[in-house]
Chains A and B, each alone.
Chain A
Amino acid sequence: MASDVDTAPLIGRADLLKSVRSALLDDVAQGHTAAVFLTGESGVGKTRLLREVGAQLRDAGALVLTGSCLDIGDASPLHPLLQALRRFDAELSTSHTRTSTAVRALLQMFAEETAGPDGAGALLERVSRGLHLIAEGRPLVLVLDDLQWVDRSTRQLLLYLLAGLGDLQLSVLAAIRAESLQGAHPLRRVLTELRRLRSVRVLDLAPLDRGATEQLAAAVVGRPLGAESADQVWQRSGGNPFVIEELARDLRDGRDGLSDTLREIFLARVDALPQHAHAVVHAVAAGVEPVQHWLLARVVRLPEQELIEAVRATVAHRLLVSADDGYRLRHRLVAEVLEDELLPAERSALHRRYAEALTSAEAELHQARLAHHWRLAGEPARALPAAVAAAREAERLHGYAEAHRHWSAALQLADAPAVGTRTVDRADLLGHAAEAAHHCGEHARALALLEELAGAGAMSSCALHIRRARYLAAAGRSAPAEAEYRRALEAHDCTPRERATAAAHLAELLLHLGRYADAGRRAREALELTAAVDGATSEVVLASAALGFSEAYLEDPDAGLAVVRRALEIAEQAGGPDDVACAYLHLAELLTGPLNILEEGVVVARRGAERVAELGLGRTYETRLLAIATNGLFRVGQWAEAEKVVAAALRHRPSGADAVELLLARCRLSVGYGDIEAADRDLDAVATVLAGGGARHVIPLLTLRAGLAMWQGRHNLARQAVQRGLTESRSDDVAILAALVWHGLRAEAEAHASRTVPVDRTAVRRLRDVADRVARKSEKAARPVRDVVDGFLALCDAEVSRLDGNDPELWARSVAEWDRRNHPYPAAYSRLRQAEALLARRSRVATAGKLLREAYRTAQGLGAVPMTSEIRTLATRARVTLDEREPAAGRDGATDAAGGDELATLTAREREVLASVAEGLTNKEIGQRLFISERTIGVHVSHIFDKLQVRTRVQASAIYLRNGRG
């Protein structure tokens, strides 16, 4: 009988195994991530394949962590990861002391985590650091089974790590039951989004074909099957390996007649079990897997020896499997078969025994399991405290979705007649449940719970209105939110502090609604109210920002700026760290945003970043401030500096929207530099993070994709990205829509110019329609918004003319627009096109030459390689000399008698790189020194070679030293 426990050989999956292995290990470049998601019906062999691949990867030197998600529906956040770590910890022998310490440290970190303001993001970062230490440089593979039951926190963690934000070479292999994807499962959308990335594969595990079916059956039986039996196995199993194996076993053991369904097979097996074994199977089926031995012993209450024999029998009958961490049913199908076999009374008795056993001993997922078992044992009064504890536990790990479920369960339990009203403060439960629902985005539920709380009369009416307004605003229901804030302000029981809070938040809300005058009025009111209250600094900062922006939009920028500056002073004098950070953030946003005072905005953002780092808010606010600085630096054309800042910001390993913002900023630089690989990588990383939700960044992502595709001459790709963007953009976001439309028209114009792809006339018509709509809408927008839009619309008009005659005047207009706003990159692009248009008409060749030289200087200064090379190509064709210096140019001070600075054409960043090259550092070392990727250094080096017209590092170093550096 013992041989029966061994699993049959893996048949018909050799190719799949090979391709999964290479996708997860062999084909993964150093420092990259990869993922394979296996989908398939129950019994098709997903778990088996996970095990097989895991073993192979382990043999190949990877560190493999395995965990599975649970279906108890109220699991705790990050459970599969914790389980994987515990298993790994148990496996480690004493020989790996260092790893073992690292594993313990990470487990300890989970135990000590406390909920904080930015806890969720910081937790992700700490987890990735911990994994880094455990991996010790080995590739790390996370194998997760039953991903259809994954909790939200684990899902976010996976996306974070796969986006490369954890700076970890990681592969994920996960199995998902196909059946569950058919409904409304959240993983559906995640997979749709991830499927398109090069590093992700979604493989559908199909049933075996007829040949493989027979092969597998023959392997189990031990001899080839007769034609009739083979046919029967094939017909009945439909190629499902699990069913094939079981049918073949019945066949081999000569059990009477083939059972028709799996259900019959298993019921027959269960019936054949000795009595004690019978009890064991049912006990495990009622438990939360894996069921540890000690726990099982307490539930079935058998003497040790008899228990062991009973377990052996269940294993031999292929109903249970045993592992180091406990017992499981061989397959979930078994649980489904067993479900109807117990009487309700029997089942609740089992749950009671589980609950009693767990009460006296700590175990994994302690509180969640206790609540689960007590509830099913029909003991609401005892389940309640466990549910509350489980909710708090989940909140501690920032798992608000799980916490919300536990709080809701607690509320239900509290309503049971068996629970006395005095034992529990229902209002308290309601308050917690509402807040958790609000945090995890269950807006309607949060509001419903709040209504119930209001009915209980446990809150002051003012506090209630404020809270309701907050929930409504989070749900995007601005109008009722506004009404609630107004009601809060009118409430009689309002404290002065509450009134100030309500007014400040109302001002902010109105600002978002674009009602600047109203926002300004409310903000002033709030500021007056705060004057009478001590310690209302947060309200001062909030109200000042609302006032500052509303003034800026209403065209009194100086007044607004003064208010926000003043708020910063107040925050520094009287506020907490968060207030200071917020004040810096608002000031920097105001300057770089509507006011377009970029240089000062960048300075404020960077100073703010230093200040908040001192205050200990590096992860959140420093990151955000540095993102503002990066975008400002990009626009004013200080790309080398921008690159440095973004690298510094990413060292905080931000998550979520902050990470997306920074990756997009870095990608924008890479697109400008023409570093296609780096840009692609960042775009994929952004897409990975966005697969978890968040529509706001999709348009900038698609715009960059289009821009990148155009430099590569892949006009079709650019067109597709723009089309997708046009169908998914909110029409009120006129500025980003204008940029997208420009990319679309430019793609068509480039297609026209390249003569490789035909122009899509329908697309052009649509783009022009959208451009018209943007123009109409921006007329009603505030001045600062209109300004940005006008620049892009000028580009749009000019691109359209490129399709038909190319009017240099339109390009001249675009040059003027962008010069006025001090954005050198689009200005240089417009000059290039203006020159091109002039040259095509063979008129004003001298002007064209001047424009080209100007554009060339800018592009060179930025390090904008693709644009530079396009300028060069045009110049060569038109016989324009680019190096010709204008005689009056004062910036050529370096061109003295001594022979001129050969390094003049290099950007600041390129000079830094060259200095390191001259020191003899490798690209990798330079990358580490300057905080940028090795590949980017490679791009810089090739630009340097290009500009200095050398071919080796030695030649480049020689020029560097000859020019008196070093």
Chain B
Amino acid sequence: MSEPVWGPVHRDIVDLLADHPADVPAVVDHLTKLQDLLVRMPPLLDSCPLADFNKLYLTITTTVLDGLYDDRFVDPVFLSRLDVEFAARYFDAMRLWTDSSAGTPKAWSCLFERMHGPDARPLPSAAAGVNAHINFDLPFALVTTFDHLESEPMDGSDQHRDYLEINNIFAEKIPQLRRGYLERWQLLIDMLNGDIDDWYQGELVDYTRDVAWRNAQKIWQCRHDPAAHECERNRLDSTAAALGRLLLSPLGAFLQ
């Protein structure tokens, strides 16, 4: 094989990924180290599209950590487990990509593929990462967390409230997205993910906030059925990948 996947920082990234952070402070630490490495990726310093996502994700996770210290959440046990499990999926995707595995989620590989390309713009890149992470990783992270805590995704529960609180953090931390094109962007997510019925029933607003939550509830019901579960995973992956590609296409530049 020719060039290592992560270029000059390949070794460092592989070493970093060998570690599996198990609590939120460790996740923040991990993302910080990763950021230092990703900005050193060629062709130009600070030009790596993944670094654009990583930076945003680091900011958000740091805010979540502060929130945990500051008693911002009703059920910190749930939220911290979710945060770790959520991050683990991003690291998993990177690991699979490192091994050139065919199992790398398509939702992520569309962003990873851009790593060496010259023309990915920061905002669409970050948005593509957020897309993969929320539309693909998050529902599964939710299900695993609930399963581990012997609880379940129930509307109106403490956990649901805390989960929505994270949405608020995302909104706070993506001011550029919030202004102007967030609506457009979320509209796209809904069109791709949603059942067309939901539009007509006028539940759009509630629905947008809850796409991943709803998907988690769907997966929850079929979590013991390997075939159905796999089917759902492929569906989410394809949808998220389609949206990711759209975001990274010339069309996505309209976001910038």
**What residues of chain B lie closer than 8 Å to A724, measured between beta carbons?**
22-26
Asked if A729 contacts B152 (CB within 8 A), the reply is no
Tell me the minimal C-beta distance from A918 to chain B in angstroms: 48
Per DSSP, chain B at the interface is helix
Give complex CA distance A212, B225 in Å: 37
Give complex CA distance A770, B70 in Å: 8
**What residues of chain A lie closer than 8 Å to B113, measured between beta carbons?**
none
**What residues of chain A lie closer than 8 Å to B65, measured between beta carbons?**
727
**What residues of chain A lie closer than 8 Å to B220, measured between beta carbons?**
184
**What residues of chain B lie closer than 8 Å to A182, measured between beta carbons?**
92, 103, 105, 140, 233
A100 within 8 A of B: no
* With A695-B149, A727-B68 as contacts: A184 and B143 at CB distance below 8 Å: yes
- Which chain A residues (518-571) contact chain B, with CB distance < 8 Å? none
Give complex CA distance A405, B223 in Å: 12
Task: Kindly name the residue among A195, A723, A773 whose own CB sees the greatest number of chain B CB atoms within 10 A.
Answer: A723
Asked if B23 contacts A189 (CB within 8 A), the reply is no
Asked if B147 contacts A442 (CB within 8 A), the reply is no
**What residues of chain B lie closer than 8 Å to A729, measured between beta carbons?**
76-77
**CB closest residue in chain A, given B19:** A195
Task: Determine the interface band of chain A, counting residues with CB < 8 A from chain B.
Answer: 35 or more
Asked if B20 contacts A192 (CB within 8 A), the reply is yes
* With A41-B101, A766-B69 as contacts: A444 and B154 at CB distance below 8 Å: yes
**What residues of chain B lie closer than 8 Å to A876, measured between beta carbons?**
none
- Which chain A residues (751-786) contact chain B, with CB distance < 8 Å? 766, 769-770, 773
**What residues of chain B lie closer than 8 Å to A193, measured between beta carbons?**
22
- Which chain B residues (80-115) contact chain A, with CB distance < 8 Å? 80-81, 84-85, 88, 92, 99-103, 105
Q: Given B70, B80, B84, which contacts A192 in the complex, CB threshold below 8 Å?
A: B84
- Which chain B residues (139-185) contact chain A, with CB distance < 8 Å? 139-145, 147-152, 154, 157
Asked if A188 contacts B85 (CB within 8 A), the reply is yes
**What residues of chain B lie closer than 8 Å to A238, measured between beta carbons?**
100, 102
A12 within 8 A of B: no
B15 within 8 A of A: no
Q: Given B24, B71, B233, which contacts A183 in the complex, CB threshold below 8 Å?
A: B233
Tell me the minimal C-beta distance from B199 to chain A in angstroms: 27
* With A184-B223, A695-B149, A731-B71 as contacts: A189 and B85 at CB distance below 8 Å: yes
Give complex CA distance A373, B97 in Å: 40
**What residues of chain B lie closer than 8 Å to A180, measured between beta carbons?**
226
- Which chain A residues (181-213) contact chain B, with CB distance < 8 Å? 182-186, 188-190, 192-193, 195-196, 206-207
**What residues of chain B lie closer than 8 Å to A178, measured between beta carbons?**
103
Asked if A184 contacts B144 (CB within 8 A), the reply is yes
Tell me the minimal C-beta distance from B3 to chain A in angstroms: 16
**What residues of chain A lie closer than 8 Å to B225, measured between beta carbons?**
73
Give complex CA distance A770, B71 in Å: 9
**What residues of chain B lie closer than 8 Å to A695, measured between beta carbons?**
77, 81, 149
**What residues of chain A lie closer than 8 Å to B230, measured between beta carbons?**
183
**What residues of chain B lie closer than 8 Å to A694, measured between beta carbons?**
150
Asked if B101 contacts A727 (CB within 8 A), the reply is no
**What residues of chain A lie closer than 8 Å to B68, measured between beta carbons?**
726-728
**What residues of chain B lie closer than 8 Å to A184, measured between beta carbons?**
139-144, 147, 219-220, 223, 229
Tell me the minimal C-beta distance from B75 to chain A in angstroms: 7
Task: Determine the interface band of chain B, counting residues with CB < 8 A from chain A.
Answer: 35 or more
Tell me the minimal C-beta distance from B229 to chain A in angstroms: 5
**What residues of chain B lie closer than 8 Å to A73, measured between beta carbons?**
224-226
A306 within 8 A of B: no
A71 within 8 A of B: yes
Tell me the minimal C-beta distance from A283 to chain B in angstroms: 21
Asked if B140 contacts A730 (CB within 8 A), the reply is no
**What residues of chain B lie closer than 8 Å to A183, measured between beta carbons?**
140, 219, 229-230, 233
A236-265 interface code vs B (CB 8 A; 1 in, 0 out): 001000000000000000000000000000
A713 within 8 A of B: no
Asked if A195 contacts B77 (CB within 8 A), the reply is no
**What residues of chain B lie closer than 8 Å to A769, measured between beta carbons?**
69-70
B32-70 interface code vs A (CB 8 A; 1 in, 0 out): 000000000000000000000000000000000100111
Give complex CA distance A443, B219 in Å: 16
- Which chain B residues (198-241) contact chain A, with CB distance < 8 Å? 219-220, 223-226, 229-230, 233
Task: Kindly name the residue among A476, A695, A766 whose own CB sees the greatest number of chain B CB atoms within 10 A.
Answer: A695
Give complex CA distance A238, B143 in Å: 32
**What residues of chain A lie closer than 8 Å to B85, measured between beta carbons?**
188-189, 192
Task: Kindly name the residue among B24, B144, B220, B223 whose own CB sees the greatest number of chain A CB atoms within 10 A.
Answer: B144
Tell me the minimal C-beta distance from B178 to chain A in angstroms: 27
**What residues of chain A lie closer than 8 Å to B20, measured between beta carbons?**
192, 195
A149 within 8 A of B: yes
Give complex CA distance A185, B144 in Å: 6
Asked if A727 contacts B226 (CB within 8 A), the reply is no
Asked if A41 contacts B103 (CB within 8 A), the reply is yes
Task: Kindly name the residue among A183, A193, A443, A770 whose own CB sees the greatest number of chain B CB atoms within 10 A.
Answer: A183
Asked if A186 contacts B147 (CB within 8 A), the reply is yes
Asked if A188 contacts B152 (CB within 8 A), the reply is no
Tell me the minimal C-beta distance from B61 to chain A in angstroms: 11
**CB closest residue in chain B, given A202:** B20
- Which chain A residues (690-728) contact chain B, with CB distance < 8 Å? 693-695, 698, 720, 723-724, 726-728
Give complex CA distance A924, B30 in Å: 45
**CB closest residue in chain B, given A447:** B154
Asked if A723 contacts B25 (CB within 8 A), the reply is yes
Give complex CA distance A724, B65 in Å: 10
- Which chain A residues (147-197) contact chain B, with CB distance < 8 Å? 149, 178-180, 182-186, 188-190, 192-193, 195-196
**What residues of chain A lie closer than 8 Å to B219, measured between beta carbons?**
183-184
Q: Given B81, B139, B152, which contacts A442 in the complex, CB threshold below 8 Å?
A: B152
A441 within 8 A of B: yes
Tell me the minimal C-beta distance from A45 to chain B in angstroms: 15
Tell me the minimal C-beta distance from A780 to chain B in angstroms: 15
Tell me the minimal C-beta distance from B218 to chain A in angstroms: 11
- A-B contacts, 30 listed (Cβ < 8 Å): A41-B101, A179-B103, A182-B92, A183-B219, A183-B233, A184-B139, A184-B141, A184-B223, A184-B229, A186-B144, A186-B147, A188-B144, A189-B81, A193-B22, A405-B224, A443-B151, A475-B151, A475-B154, A476-B151, A693-B148, A720-B26, A723-B23, A724-B25, A724-B26, A727-B65, A727-B68, A727-B80, A728-B23, A730-B77, A766-B69
Q: Apart from A186-B148, A444-B152, A731-B71, what are 7 other A-B pairs with CB-CB below 8 Å?
A: A73-B226, A184-B140, A189-B81, A441-B150, A694-B150, A720-B26, A727-B23
Interface pairs A-B: 7 shortest CB-CB: A184-B143, A724-B23, A189-B148, A727-B68, A184-B140, A695-B77, A441-B150
